[in-house]
Structure 1
């Protein structure tokens, strides 16, 4: 009987260690990918990734960083296209596309816990964006999913495209 209890305890510990190892590996796998790869793999940032590639920022955001990207979803881009009455192709052809995208990027790794109500963050477009809390927003865009880890920074998913 004692032998059965000991075997059962060993089995429980081994299963627990395996589960913990799998969780740790999954977290590390996500953080071993750069910002662009994480965005591509997520599946809901295809317009953002296409735009980054179009203006040459994808390579920058694959670099060392660290960077913080406030990443609009495909749905956010669809809303912008509708509001501006343009197509995705017309958006990708805009002269100010690079500035629009740079307005979504902050140098350094800024987690949601680092944000303070009313603070202004310097974007790579050399313009400031205002942070509000409760709920967390940048300008008028809601942060719908904060703190997605990448090897070279962090992504905060937002529900609107920011315009400088």
Structure 2
């Protein structure tokens, strides 16, 4: 189904570009960015998200915040949303509206940003005020950890590039980001309550909240902690703080925060001095194996940008 959707998107966009390029003197006859999403079935979830997040009208009009009147949108396909379990307008109800709005704005830039301006190592500011990074890997271009699968789709009010994963940024540090999830400020059902308790009990919260400390964090979900033998949050609260600190430091890499697209090594040294082993990079992600794990951890939600690093949600606790 994924290939069919992408092929449909490519065909529809190709037809669209052909039509509008036949008469560039009549830009007003081009569809708006919002209209492109409406007219293309491969972007129906994005259309629903734009309506729910209150940005559909914005992307139907010219940009008042840029002299050109243009926007650039990195548009996630339906398959991109499906990777987060968001498959239609109904499932978008799992997200808090304020978070959904900010997520959509994170995909938007002021002005036209064309493909020839997207080069490895460059950055682009989002409408949310947070920079995104461009990465070249294996002949493909990425924005953060999302592959750019189609470029330079012209709209009356800007330019659209299609991407294969939804980009997420919290705008706050790693600890505050975990608290947002814990307090249902992102997904209505919390995912990281056990991890938050572990960070508090271990005494590592000040270190992970320090803006001067940049980390890549592999964050185990609640289900991962339960599978590791912590039946309840109270079990985590009662655990030896030194033990929890050792375990948590095995999930932290002291670097500038690395997106999946930027990780090219097969191993990494943790903040605790142990080694994590990565599988080959496939479909935009990789698995992670701790020294004492027999089964690697999979990424549940990769590439969450925080103010002091990058967090990847994983489905297994990494044992040192």
The two structures share one fold, judged by TM-score above 0.5: yes
Distance 1:138 1:122 in 2: 11
Residue number among 125, 130, 140 corresponding to 2:145 in the alignment: 140
Shift in CA distance, 147/25, structure 1 to aligned 2, threshold 3 Å: closer
The whole-number CA distance in structure 2 between the counterparts of 1:73 and 1:138 is 14
Unaligned runs of 5+ in 1: 1-22
1:104–1:25: structure 2 CA closer, same or farther, 3 Å change rule? closer
- Aligned pair partner of 2:91 in 87, 92, 100: 87
In structure 2, how many angstroms separate the alpha carbons of the residues matched to 1:140 and 1:119? 14
Equivalent runs, 1:70-81 vs 2, <5 Å:
70-81=74-85
> Could you tell me how far 1:42 is from its partner in structure 2?
1.7
Tell me what 1:49 maps to: 47
Which structure ranks higher in relative contact order (CA pairs < 8 Å, sequence separation ≥ 6)?
1
TM-score normalised per structure 1 = 0.76
Deviation by residue 1:136-163 (Cα, 9 ceiling, x = unmatched): 1100100001111111111100000000
Gaps of 5+ in 2: 1-16, 64-69, 170-320
Q: CA RMSD in A?
A: 2.2
Q: State the alpha-carbon separation in 2 of the partners of residues 29 and 79 from structure 1.
A: 37
- What's the CA shift for 1:35? 0.3
Name the CA distance, whole Å, in 2 between partners of 1:124 and 1:26. 26
> What's the CA shift for 1:49?
1.0
Residue 21 of structure 2: aligned partner: 27
The match for 1:13 is none
- In structure 1, C-alpha distance between the alignment counterparts of 2:53 and 2:18, rounded to whole Å: 35
Distance in 2, Cα, partners of 1:117 & 1:25: 31
Using structure 2 for the length normalisation, give the TM-score: 0.40
Q: Give the match's secondary structure for 2:150.
A: strand
The alpha carbon displacement at 1:24 in A equals: 6.4
